Structure 1
Amino acid sequence: MTLTDRISSIIHLRRFNLFIALFCAGLIGAALYFQHVDNLDPCPLCIFQRVIVIAFGIVFLLKALHKPKPESFMQWIYFTLGLLVAAVGIGLAGRHVWLQSLPEHLVPACGPALDYLMEALPFLEVIEVVMQGSGECAKEDGWQFLWLNMPQWMLVIFCGFALFCLIGLWTRWQQRKPF
């Protein structure tokens, strides 16, 4: 059995895809814990990153429930969709980390709350305003684990998600049938 076959046999297991979905649920649970127990209010970029984690979890929950065959075209669809979701997460988390790295005099002013933006603006304009960032997205809350704060950890996690999907696509490509 080749390395590609071993990796493929693991990542195509229903249990493994369910584990990915449960990991995403755990991330959301941790985010809610920090919000409601530790009183760390999320900024708009944090909330968007939560939506991306939920979307990634849903993709792999659906993959676990559907259980497509390893040689199925649906494998391409699930991994490609997961890669696109992870890429959006990398963009959001990368922007968040970049905002936090700005010198204080370059940090944008604090903007209105996300709930107000959602009421006052069309959805695409809300996304544009949030992506521009605000002062609340640039401040660090003091929470760190292994020298990384939450946006930095989310960037690492989204990169891991993207790598997982790329490996899934690579193993699927290695198993393709000649025409």
Structure 2
Amino acid sequence: MTKAILINGGNSVSSRLTGVEQYIANNLTAKGIEVETIQVHQLPAEDLITANYKSEAIAAEIVKVGAADIVVFLTPIYKGSYTGILKTFIDLLPQKGLEGKQVFPVAIGGSIAHLLALEYSLKPVLSILGATNIDCPIYIVDSQVARIEGGFTLDETATARIDNVFSTVSGVKVGV
């Protein structure tokens, strides 16, 4: 079975980014893909900040990334770039830890002005980690995600963008 890992680099599970994460998880699950999420902010902060490769908690999450066929990096955009929270986790990934994986950068920001942040800040870092199959980045403006009782809802523009990018993903491994 195809496995996906969603790496949420936000600072709260109640943020709109979680609504995007949940929509993507549901999209992948509907395709028969096994999905798991890493909430980076919930990992031991000291281990992240000090790049403690010996941390059992961190090592367990790195193993999950290694076992995944699909890796989705989710981040809010602050000051024109992805979060330091996400960066602390990315720094712990092995040098070629994304090699052979389908990688999806996804961001949410306050305005369309930061649309290119994924292109100039996150994609180059992911390619250094061996990602050669980086799919079209998805940028969503936070006004496209609304909080509703019990969760979130995304507007049609946001869901269409996500659906379009993930349309080629299937739960069937190539060559299996």
Q: Which has the higher helix share?
A: 1
Same topology, TM > 0.5: no
Q: Tell me the TM-score normalized by structure 2.
A: 0.24
Q: Larger relative contact order (C-alpha < 8 A, sep ≥ 6)?
A: 1
Q: Tell me the TM-score normalized by structure 1.
A: 0.24
